[in-house]
Amino acid sequence: MKIAVDVMSGERSPEPLVHGALESLKEHNASIILVGDKDIITSALKKYPHDKSRIEIVHSTQIIKMHESPTEAIKQKPDASVMVATQLVKNGLADGFISPGNTGATVATAFWKLGRLKGVSRPAILAKLPTSSYKYTAILDVGAIPECKAIHLVQFAVMGAVHVSKLYDIKSPRIGLLCNGEEETKGTAVSRKAYKILKKLPVNFVGNIEGRNLFDGSIDVAVCDGFTGNIILKATEGVGLTIYSLLKTEIRKSIIFQASALLMVKVFKELKKKIDYQEYGGAQLIGVNGVCIKTHGSSSTKDIKNGIKVAVKAVQNEMNGEIIEKLKEYGVNKLNWHFWGEDPEDL
Amino acid sequence: MKIAVDVMSGERSPEPLVHGALESLKEHNASIILVGDKDIITSALKKYPHDKSRIEIVHSTQIIKMHESPTEAIKQKPDASVMVATQLVKNGLADGFISPGNTGATVATAFWKLGRLKGVSRPAILAKLPTSSYKYTAILDVGAIPECKAIHLVQFAVMGAVHVSKLYDIKSPRIGLLCNGEEETKGTAVSRKAYKILKKLPVNFVGNIEGRNLFDGSIDVAVCDGFTGNIILKATEGVGLTIYSLLKTEIRKSIIFQASALLMVKVFKELKKKIDYQEYGGAQLIGVNGVCIKTHGSSSTKDIKNGIKVAVKAVQNEMNGEIIEKLKEYGVNKLNWHFWGEDPEDL
């Protein structure tokens, strides 16, 4: 197995990323393809002793920066590290890739180059939200498909459940459909249709869930359209930063508070990390023909190591094969969806 | 001017609510109608000296409890305090009402009994979100209309802007359309249509905003459909509670942290209050023929006093008259909406 790592697009690239890739070798049997400027990578490699037989370099000359327009960048930089890494997967030279770069560009490249898994109507972006029990809730879609049909929501549910069961060993993941109330009658015409179908599938569908359930540990997978999911993800980050800022303001009000806060710096740092959604996994693409992990823009050695671990597990446990199989088995892939009474032309 | 106060439906009813109503008398010239069990209210009134000429009691025999189904409760309890208070507004015997009770029942009663303002296509529920600058962002709709058309979003924008300008003296409020990205091309077909129209209106429309902008103080009014808004509101509460709980867990890890935290109890209490969305205003109904404020379920003396202040200001500054006028002036009321090229039959 080979995992391609775009070591050029992160804010701290390339050294900590190269280091992270080398560190990961101790934890799995896969080989790593480092994608980026050959000279820079070679000099970074010299600093860390490693098993040379499991490391390859694939040269690329361009980098897509964080604030570039994804669609423009993809057109203008065909030799960007993220494009080259994706192409390796497309050509079967790598089994998966990870990138810490521009989210839009990473997602667009993967969708465009890799295409969809057999039977998948639309791929989705999956993110993780923190819960009070120090676990996570997977949420999809957080931005790929702003307007969904029922088939998309149903497929997101199945793909999300396969993802968490294969990657985090959660048996029979609890799936919730994000809604403006718990009752079956709540929601939109599309969400109500998805509800009716999900209720009939052999999955652990707990029904409609409310916004607060995303964070209380009561579900493992939250399903929604990309419009709602994207707003939720960014709002979560916004609330976190606001609370952190209010906390700082309150603390500044008294010398005693400041002294106490000084003793608690570690607590606040931990807290800040927890409320930065990018810290706990970033976005992962699901439903595309390959494994694609998008890590934090300022990914550290540890983040890259963890990202590779997730990619390896997804490949090893055949996540994508299981998605194809389950969609077919449940009668919700593109080809057998017409059993649910919707015009298959309309997908 | 008369404001009806449902003093029976809150978790701490009725004494702190009666007290709050009496306290409010010092801050405005309106009279108060206390709605609820006459004997209970009379005995609560005896505890606080007050100007009898400005206090009336209207008897009601039933209470809608917090966890009752709104639609059922409204049918089965025609003499519930919230129903009686709303009826007073309908009959012109009060100018507005406030209730700390069951949100669904309060909203349903107001929509049903009061009807819509002239030209309003759909009423909305407006809530306030905290920002790091200790100010608030108004957001609507947070649950009345899950599936919106463009006219609804445009009218929400106008109603929200009138609301914050009349109630919080914000001149030329900055209006943002909640979206999965800032670009004009992002969003759904409906949100893109609303964007195009809002851009042409003489309001301070800043364009599409992202989830994080709800909390960074960059806008005064956020507009979205009730499906998204409701999920956002409840997710905000959920994130807040999760962060609070993570903070407690981190603090428990060391004696030094615990000692420091003890000194900072006040800070944490303030923080908890800030992250409970119901603490900072609860839900307000907008677009109905009357003023309706829904305060926190466990409203204290101060909450009721503040709620009455807001109701008085809305009546005094003729918020509803201004809404009717602006919708007409901008060409976005129900009757002149066809100028925007949408079938008026379809509203």
Residue-by-residue pLDDT tens, chain A, 347 positions: 999 999 999 888 899 999 999 999 999 999 999 999 999 999 999 999 888 999 999 999 999 998 888 889 999 999 999 999 999 999 999 999 999 988 889 989 999 999 999 999 999 999 988 887 667 899 999 988 999 999 999 999 999 999 999 998 899 999 999 999 888 889 999 999 999 999 999 999 999 999 999 999 999 999 999 999 999 998 988 887 887 777 777 778 778 778 777 777 777 777 777 666 555 556 789 999 999 998 888 888 888 998 999 999 999 999 999 999 999 999 999 888 877 776 554 54
Q: For position A297, what pLDDT does the model report?
A: 81
Determine the distance in angstroms separating the CA of B285 from the nearest CA of chain A, rounded to an integer: 17
Give the span between the Cα atoms of B172 and B165, in whole angstroms. Answer: 7
Please answer yes or no on whether A130 and B257 come within 8 Å at the CB atom: no
Nearest CA in chain A to B143: A180
What is the per-residue pLDDT for B241?
A: 80
Residues of B in contact with A189 (CB under 8 A): 147
The answer to whether B71 contacts chain A (CB < 8 Å) is no
A167 and B CB contact within 8 Å:
no
Closest listed residue to residue A187, CA positions, set A228, A142, A217:
A228
Fold classification of A121-282+319-347 (topology level): Isopropylmalate Dehydrogenase (3.40.718)
What count of other Cβ atoms lies within 10 Å of the Cβ of residue B207? 15
Residue of A243, A249, A251, A269 to mutate, interface with B, max B Cβ within 10 Å: A243
pLDDT, residue A67, reads: 86
Nearest-neighbour CA in chain B from A294: distance (Å) = 18
Q: Is the pLDDT of residue B263 over 80?
A: no
The predicted-structure confidence for B28-44, as pLDDT tens digits, reads as follows 999 999 999 999 999 99
Of B214, B246, B271, the CB nearest to A235: B214
Does B147 touch chain A if contact means CB atoms closer than 8 Å? Answer: yes
Q: Please report where in the chains the tokens 């939250």 appear, as a residue.
A: A222
- Which residues of chain B neighbour A178 with C-beta distances below 8 Å? 231
Residue of B nearest to A211 (CA): B235
Partners of residue B228 in chain A, C-beta under 8 Å: 227-228, 231
Question: For residue B237, what pLDDT is reported?
Answer: 83
Q: How confident is the model at residue B242 (pLDDT cuts 50, 70, 90)?
A: confident
How far does A64 lie from chain B, in Å, by closest CA? 19
Two tokens, residue B313: 């200001």
Structure tokens at B64: 């809608």
- Nearest-by-CA chain A residue for B177: A231
Chain A contact for B324 (CB, 8 A cutoff): no
| CATH number among 3.40.190.10, 2.40.50.140, 2.60.40.420, 3.40.718.10, domain A1-117+287-316 | 3.40.718.10
In chain A, where are the structural domains located?
A: 1-117+287-316, 121-282+319-347
Domain B121-286+317-347 is classified in which CATH homologous superfamily? Answer: Isopropylmalate Dehydrogenase (3.40.718.10)
Q: Does B3 have pLDDT greater than 80?
A: yes
Using one digit for the tens of pLDDT, what is the confidence trace for B278-333?
555 567 899 999 999 988 888 888 889 989 999 999 999 999 999 999 999 999 99
- CATH, domain B1-115, list 3.90.550.10, 3.40.718.10, 3.40.50.720, 3.30.420.40: 3.40.718.10
Q: Name the closest residue on chain A to residue B226, using Cα atoms.
A: A180
Question: Do residues B68 and B264 lie in contact, with contact meaning Cβ atoms separated by under 8 Å?
Answer: no
Q: Considering only the beta carbons, identify the residue of B216, B257, B267 that sits closest to A267.
A: B257
> What is the phi/psi pair of residue B318, to 5°?
50, 50
pLDDT of residue B205: 98
Cα A101 from Cα A6, distance rounded (Å): 8
Q: Residue B189, exposed/middle/buried by CB under 10 A (0-12, 13-18, 19+)? A: exposed
Q: How many CB pairs under 8 A join A and B?
A: 191
Neighbour count for residue A136 (Cβ, 10 Å): 18
CA B110, distance to chain mean position in Å, is: 12
Chain B residues close to A241, C-beta within 8 Å: 132, 212, 215-216
Minimum distance, in Å, between the CA of residue B71 and any CA atom of chain A: 13
Closest CA to B224 of B242, B211, B206, B237: B211
Chain A residues inside the 8 Å CB shell of B192:
none
Of A227, A238, A271, the CB nearest to B216: A238
Confidence of residue B345 (pLDDT cuts 50, 70, 90): very low
- Report helix, strand or coil for B141: coil
| Torsion (CA) A197, A202, A207, A209 in degrees, nearest 10 | -110
Across the interface, of A179, A230, A246, the residue whose CB is closest to B271 is A246
| Cα–Cα distance measured from residue B139 to residue B157, given in angstroms and rounded to the nearest whole number | 9
Asked if B234 is an interface residue toward chain A (Cβ–Cβ < 8 A), one would say yes
Task: Please tell me the distance from the alpha carbon of residue A90 to that of residue A109, in angstroms, as a whole number.
Answer: 11
Residue A132 Cα, gap to closest chain B Cα (Å): 5
Indicate the pLDDT class of residue B115, thresholds 50, 70 and 90: very high
pLDDT reported for residue A260: 77
Q: Do A227 and B228 touch (CB under 8 A)?
A: yes
- Residue that has been written with the tokens 């205003």 in this structure: B281
B contacts of A235 (beta carbons < 8 Å): 211-212, 214-215, 232, 235-236
Name the DSSP class of B117: P
B188 and A260 within 8 Å at the Cβ level: the answer is no
The answer to whether B220 and B162 are in contact (CB under 8 A) is no
- Cβ <8 Å between A230 and B246: no
Identity at B283, one-letter amino acid code: A
Q: Are A241 and B215 an interchain contact pair (Cβ–Cβ within 8 Å)?
A: yes
- Cross-chain Cβ contact A187/B146 below 8 Å: yes
**B133-155: pLDDT as tens digits:** 667 899 999 988 999 999 999 99
Which chain B positions have a beta carbon within 8 Å of A253's beta carbon? 267
Same fold, B1-115 and B121-286+317-347: yes
ipTM for this model: 0.87
Contact at CB, B227 and A228, closer than 8 angstroms: yes
> Which of A215, A233, A266 has the CB atom closest to B211's CB atom?
A233
User: Nearest to residue B59, comparing CAs of B42, B77, B76?
Assistant: B42
What is the pTM for the complete model shown? Answer: 0.89
Task: Write phi, then psi, for B191 (nearest 5 degrees).
Answer: -70, -35
